[in-house]
Amino acid sequence: MRPILLSGHERALTQVKYNSDGDIIFSVSKDHVVGAWFSHNGERLGTYHGHQGALWTVDVDPTSTLLATGGADNTMRLWEVKTGKLLKTWEFNTSIKRVEFSPDGRQLLGVTEKRSGHLSTIVVYEIIPDPEAEQTDEQSLRIVCDESKATVAGFSYLAIYIIAGHEDGSVSQYDAKTGELLFNTQAHEADMQITDLQWAPDRTYFITSSKDKSAKILATDSLEVLKTYTTDTPLNSAAITPVKDYVILGGGQAAMDVTTTSARQGKFEARFYHKVFMEEIGRVRGHFGPLNYVAVHPQGLGYCSGGEDGYVRVHHFDKPYFDFMYEVEREQANL
Amino acid sequence: MAPSYENLPIDDDEFDESQIDFTDIEEQYQVRLDEGLDAFVVVDGLPVVPEDNRAKLVKFLLRKLNSVGRVKDDGVFMPLNDEGKTEGYAFVEYNAPSEAVQAVKQLHGTPLDKKHTMAVNKLTDIDRYGREGRIEEEYYPPEIEPFQQKEHLRSWLGDSDARDQIVMFRGDKVGVFWNEKEDAPEAAVDRDNWTEFFVQWSPQGTFLTSMHAQGVQLWGGKTWSRQKRFAHPGVNLVDFSPSEKYVTTWSHKPLQVDENHPVPHLSLEEDGKNYIIWDIATGKPLRSFTTIDVPSTTDAEGNPVKKKMQWPTFKWSSDDKYVARMTQGQSISVYELPRMNLLEKASIKIEGVMDFEWAPATPKRDGIKVYEQLLCYWTPELGSNPAKVGLMSIPSKEIVRTRNLFNVSDAKLHWQSEAAYVCVKVDRHSKSKKSMATNLEIFRVREKGVPVEVVDSIKDTVINFAWEPKGNRFVLITTGEIPAQAAVPPKTSVSFFCPEKAKGNVVGNFRHIRTYDKKNSNAIYWSPKGRFVVVASLQSQQSFDLDFYDLSYEKPKDEKDEKDKDLTANLQLMNTAEHYGVTDIEWDPTGRYVATVASAFRHHMENGYHLYDFKGNLLREEHIDRFKQLIWRPRPPTLLSKEEQSEIRKNLRNYSKLFDEQDLAKKNTANRQVVEQRRRLLQEWLAWRESMIEMLKEEGAEIELNGGIVKKEDGETEETEEVEEIVEEIIEETEEVIG
């Protein structure tokens, strides 16, 4: 598995995403630039300029028509993927930590940071999936997180719920129509921030990663913890692989501690765990800073990771990856 | 903003303190007020004399009393009874309270003549302890507690799989675990904050020692209950006698024991002392000592040299009968146990003595039938006298053997574990004092007349030396001259020695087997059973090598090395491993496993441990945050006789067959369990997924069921697009020279 190194960013990567076809990778970084890359060879497709601050988040709609980004310049922006044209800018009081489209691409969600008198909120806009259309300024929903600030959020299947992960390690389920808090559970250790939340392909379950050095799979309906993956390092990201039942975890020593220790013990590796058996099956080295995000190809053909070191590493899985099976899985497959 | 002190809300709750009964607390924490009577003592046990002789008695008494301080003029008051006789006691006033304290300390219990023994107490104490109501008038016999069955302290030896135990100290947790080879060790006990500083096993593994600010505690038995407690405030180090009968505790701070600082089991006797030697069975102190200040020396440039404290300071003979301490440069004091009296009431004067070591086992010297223990010591060159190494027999104090040495700059004493040899590693300087070399002077203790064999073929300085336990081979590490201010430590060489083959039942001369050059090694760890040895690089920044050697390697017949055929060893480097950040190496007591530790006591990089088998195969590695200590639980010496042991060795093949079967069975059940568990997990997962997909179908969630792909609105006629990708691949490259 020889990775392709995307070295187009000048500062730490904050999020990387595949589009639904898996042929394009979008990357955002603290250098204010959004990048788009061909996933199969790492060639740069283009960049999206306009943001005035570090970027925290990116998402692409299911038809690869619209791209949403959010960053430290307190704006959330909508772009046309094909042309790089800025379609819409929404302004806020604080920075945008997370954006995500609903499964049908007709709603866009943003998570705002808590700062200087402004509480953290989750806002939702109705989106017209047409680059020519005028997008609305009106929020269809606004959820205020007064307990603990939201760090990550996303739409469940059919956009019934909005699931959010919080700074205090808890996970909340909101009604996506009314914004009512339905349920909150302390999924991770108290006061250990949830750093990422990524969905399974059908959005009936999701994986959260946390600074408490673990990642967990929760059921969307019940918020029941189904699986727990324990590691020895704070985690920044976790992804679920389609096709094979694996999860990929990324993290490493907090960026501020890195200079005081050797790269050897930074634990800057992508870790593969078996999703069902919760056992570690492998690690991929390469980054020399913590991994800030891992994203999986929607057809499960590869994955890419964005690191604090400013690089995106794109990996295409080899045959042994697909061939590997536990004894009991083989039994199951032969039934 | 925090409220300032003035603005603090006043607690409105009316609360009447006078309602509470504090008497019990008052009694417990009664403060002794300075009553101005501190300079008074009461002397009791005096002879009863008529008034005429009183002055004479007072005069006699004053001679004694004035030996510790000054009694005030007219400071002795000896009352008379109705018959005109003294009462047998006197009140004495000293000039200062401190003198009164000294009088109590030094004069109490002094015999005056055959019949009378003086009892000296402070007046305030008489008042305090002898007050009415404090002492029961009637005698009640002390209640004898009913006998309680104690736990078996060696129950761990009865493990059916003969597993060994390990204590691990990580973070604030201390746990004792069963070694499970490559699997996670099974916890026998795991407690938070079990110790404050470190843990230590007693030499035969009976007790686990925990160190606290208040003292030392011993734990043991199946339930890990507290067995003994030794109160020694500020204790720093602890040392057991070899048979676990006694224990020495040491604190760098002198003990403070007085009435305001009472310590359980300690009396005024212990005030100001640093060392206490305890009897483990009773939990009571036997005797206490103060630290002897080592005269500070200066190095060549006249800077004071910081002396490392020698630990253990009190060294035990192998059978717990004697304990000895050296006063550097002067003498060795040998104490007999359990009375702790100085052997023959005098220290053994040895001028200039620098170091000494007891034989680690009762020596069996040729032709010596009487009981003896041996100790070995050395003295440096003094004036025109040469340096000397001596062997002394205890209790006779007879010097068995001495040897004169010249140009000695330092010497180290290394006993072989069975006291068959003692090797004196002598660092010698050349006449000009510019270059250094090392000699090994090996005393063959068991042979008639204790012959000394000299190994002087070593050019470089020997930095480490170790005998094979229960064997007669040894390893040493040498290094060349250390250049001043070198950033990289110099390379070292590891040399192996063994005796030659000799006819009859004798041990031949020591011969060099082989030297491995260009190493970074600096530490030698022999298997406790001998034969195997790990040579490692510890405390190094760059290198973390572990080399596993076998000294009795069985080569295939045809490959026999002609060169080594007259040696009693066949050296083979079995394996080399690396453990990043290794700080400690621990062999298990059976010599089957080696644990290497990266301890948080020394650094914070990848703390944890590795477990190897004796061949150097890595069985297990675990990284644990703030991992501090890993120590194998020692085992007591075997109860089997020599014959029984050799019988077992002969039938080893049969036994090992059995063990292999057991191991296999265990592995199979473990594997089966794991597979079962996985099967269950997979079934559960698949069932759950099925229910979810069912639910999505009912909800009509097409996008989700389709893997998140949204069909385009006008996508009725899905147009297909062909993408052509040109891949260029170089199959061959040839270079042709034209023209």
Of A202, A226, A232, the CB nearest to B704: A202
Please name which of B600, B657, B656, B603 lies closest in space to residue B629, comparing C-alpha atoms. B600
- Tokens matching residue A291: 């991994």
Min Cα separation A232/chain B (Å): 8
Cα angle for residues B304, B307, B310 (degrees, 5° grid): 170
Instruction: Work out the mean pLDDT of chain B and round it to a whole number.
Output: 85
Phi, psi (degrees; rounded to nearest 5) at B76: -105, 120
Min Cα separation B169/chain A (Å): 18
- Residues in B lying within 8 Å of A, measured between beta carbons: 580, 605-606, 623, 625, 675, 678-679, 681-682, 685-686, 688, 692-693, 695-696, 699, 701, 703-705, 707-710, 712, 725
Establish if A80 touches chain B: CB-CB under 8 angstroms: no
**Residue B674: is it exposed, middle or buried by C-beta count within 10 angstroms (0-12/13-18/19+)?**
middle
Instruction: Kindly determine whether residue B688 and residue A226, on different chains, have CB atoms separated by under 8 Å.
Output: yes
Q: Is B78 within a domain?
A: yes
Instruction: Work out the mean pLDDT of chain A and round it to a whole number.
Output: 91
Q: Is B309 within a domain?
A: no
Phi, psi (degrees; rounded to nearest 5) at B335: -110, 145
Q: Is B701 within a domain?
A: no
Min Cα separation A299/chain B (Å): 9
Report how many domains make up chain B: 1
Phi, psi (degrees; rounded to nearest 5) at B71: -80, 140
**pLDDT of the residue at B716:** 47
When pLDDT is cut at 50, 70 and 90, the band that residue B87 belongs to is: confident
Q: Is B427 within a domain?
A: no
- Tokens matching residue B23: 């008497």
**pLDDT of the residue at A153:** 95
**Cross-sheet strand order for the sheet of B208-211:** B199-201, B208-211, B215-220, B225-231
Flag the least confident range among A8-22, A167-181, B15-29, B156-170: B15-29
Strand partners, B301: none
Find how far residue A319's CA is from the centre of its chain: 26
**Among positive and negative, which fits the CA dihedral B44, B45, B46, B50?**
positive
Min Cα separation B668/chain A (Å): 15
**pLDDT of the residue at A232:** 84
- Other Cβ atoms less than 10 A from the Cβ of A301: the count is 19
Stretch A92-113: mean pLDDT, rounded?
A: 94
- Containing structural domain, residue B121: 40-130
Write out the DSSP string of A104-141: TSSEEEEEEPPBTTB-EEEEEEE--S-TTSPPP-SEEE
Instruction: Kindly determine whether residue A104 and residue B710, on different chains, have CB atoms separated by under 8 Å.
Output: yes
pLDDT exceeds 90 at position B623: no
pLDDT exceeds 90 at position B430: no
Flag the least confident range among A137-146, B175-184, B433-442, B634-643: B433-442
**pLDDT of the residue at B104:** 83
**How far apart are alpha carbons A189 and A170 in whole angstroms?**
8
**pLDDT of the residue at B123:** 81
**pLDDT of the residue at A72:** 94
Residue with the bigger pLDDT between B74 and A153: it is: A153
Instruction: Kindly determine whether residue A63 and residue B712, on different chains, have CB atoms separated by under 8 Å.
Output: yes
Please name which of A277, A24, A286, A49 lies closest in space to residue B676, comparing C-alpha atoms. A277
Instruction: Kindly determine whether residue A264 and residue B679, on different chains, have CB atoms separated by under 8 Å.
Output: no
Instruction: Kindly determine whether residue B701 and residue A157, on different chains, have CB atoms separated by under 8 Å.
Output: yes
When pLDDT is cut at 50, 70 and 90, the band that residue A173 belongs to is: very high
Stretch A35-59: mean pLDDT, rounded?
A: 94
pLDDT exceeds 80 at position B274: yes
**How far apart are alpha carbons B685 and A329 in whole angstroms?**
12
A4-333 — its CATH code? Answer: 2.130.10.10
Closest residue of chain A to B723, computed from CA coordinates: A23
Peptide bond just before A290 cis, omega within 30 deg = no
pLDDT > 90 fraction of chain A, expressed in percent and rounded: 81
pLDDT exceeds 90 at position A110: yes
Partners of B679 on chain A (C-beta within 8 Å) are 328, 331
Please name which of B473, B608, B477, B621 lies closest in space to residue B537, comparing C-alpha atoms. B477
Partners of B681 on chain A (C-beta within 8 Å) are 276-278
> What are the distances in angstroms from CA A310 to CA A16, A27, A42, B92, B329?
12, 11, 15, 87, 66
Of A103, A265, A277, the CB nearest to B681: A277
Please name which of A66, A136, A106 lies closest in space to residue B703, comparing C-alpha atoms. A106
Cα angle for residues B406, B408, B411 (degrees, 5° grid): 125
Instruction: Kindly determine whether residue A157 and residue B681, on different chains, have CB atoms separated by under 8 Å.
Output: no
**pLDDT of the residue at B56:** 85
**pLDDT of the residue at B193:** 92
**pLDDT of the residue at B1:** 47
- Tokens matching residue A112: 């705002």
When pLDDT is cut at 50, 70 and 90, the band that residue B88 belongs to is: confident
pLDDT exceeds 70 at position B178: yes
When pLDDT is cut at 50, 70 and 90, the band that residue A49 belongs to is: very high
Flag the least confident range among A122-126, B59-63, B623-627: B59-63
pLDDT > 90 fraction of chain B, expressed in percent and rounded: 38
Instruction: Kindly determine whether residue A157 and residue B682, on different chains, have CB atoms separated by under 8 Å.
Output: no
pLDDT exceeds 60 at position B251: yes
When pLDDT is cut at 50, 70 and 90, the band that residue B240 belongs to is: very high
Of A62, A264, A329, the CB nearest to B682: A329
Q: Is B68 within a domain?
A: yes
pLDDT exceeds 50 at position B273: yes
Q: Is B66 within a domain?
A: yes
Q: Is B122 within a domain?
A: yes
**pLDDT of the residue at B305:** 62
When pLDDT is cut at 50, 70 and 90, the band that residue A255 belongs to is: low
Per-residue pLDDT of B292-321, as tens digits, reads: 876 666 555 656 666 677 888 999 999 999
Of A62, A205, A332, the CB nearest to B710: A62
> What are the distances in angstroms from CA B325 to CA A51, B230, B355?
78, 22, 10
Residues A316, A1: contact at Cβ < 8 Å? yes
Write out the DSSP string of B117-138: B-EEEEHHHHHHHHSTTTS-SS
Per-residue pLDDT of B519-540, as tens digits, reads: 888 899 999 999 999 999 988 7
Residue with the bigger pLDDT between A232 and B10: it is: A232
When pLDDT is cut at 50, 70 and 90, the band that residue B406 belongs to is: confident
Of A40, A265, A328, the CB nearest to B605: A265
Q: Is B526 within a domain?
A: no
**pLDDT of the residue at B561:** 57
**How far apart are alpha carbons B409 and B682 in whole angstroms?**
71
Of A63, A105, A157, the CB nearest to B696: A157
Of B675, B701, B710, the CB nearest to A328: B675
Per-residue pLDDT of B354-399, as tens digits, reads: 999 999 998 888 888 888 899 999 999 888 889 999 999 988 899 9
Residue with the bigger pLDDT between B12 and A292: it is: A292
**pLDDT of the residue at B90:** 87
Which of B623, B671, B682 should one mutate to test binding to chain A, selecting the residue with the greatest count of A CBs within 10 A? B682
**pLDDT of the residue at B321:** 92
Helix and strand totals (H; E) in chain A: 3, 28
Chain A 55-74, residues with CB within 8 Å of chain B CB atoms: 61-63
**Cross-sheet strand order for the sheet of B237-240:** B237-240, B246-250, B275-279, B284-289
Which of A24, A265, A325 should one mutate to test binding to chain B, selecting the residue with the greatest count of B CBs within 10 A? A265
Partners of A331 on chain B (C-beta within 8 Å) are 679
Residue B115: CATH number of its domain = 3.30.70.330
pLDDT exceeds 80 at position B13: no
pLDDT exceeds 90 at position A125: yes
Closest residue of chain B to A105, computed from CA coordinates: B710
Establish if A22 touches chain B: CB-CB under 8 angstroms: no
* One-letter amino acid for residue B437 of the chain: A
Partners of B699 on chain A (C-beta within 8 Å) are 157-158
Stretch A27-49: mean pLDDT, rounded?
A: 94
Instruction: Kindly determine whether residue B708 and residue A298, on different chains, have CB atoms separated by under 8 Å.
Output: yes
Stretch B142-147: mean pLDDT, rounded?
A: 86
**pLDDT of the residue at B715:** 45
**pLDDT of the residue at B560:** 54
Establish if A334 touches chain B: CB-CB under 8 angstroms: no
Flag the least confident range among A100-109, B206-215, B255-264: B255-264
Of B623, B703, B725, the CB nearest to A103: B703
Establish if A331 touches chain B: CB-CB under 8 angstroms: yes
Residue with the bigger pLDDT between A241 and B40: it is: A241
Per-residue pLDDT of A257-275, as tens digits, reads: 655 555 556 678 999 999 9
Stretch B171-196: mean pLDDT, rounded?
A: 91
* One-letter amino acid for residue B186 of the chain: E
Residues B569, B554: contact at Cβ < 8 Å? no
Instruction: Kindly determine whether residue B708 and residue A62, on different chains, have CB atoms separated by under 8 Å.
Output: yes
- Other Cβ atoms less than 10 A from the Cβ of B329: the count is 16
**Coil/strand/helix, residue B668:** helix
**pLDDT of the residue at B718:** 52
Closest residue of chain A to B705, computed from CA coordinates: A202
Instruction: Kindly determine whether residue A63 and residue B693, on different chains, have CB atoms separated by under 8 Å.
Output: no
**pLDDT of the residue at B35:** 59
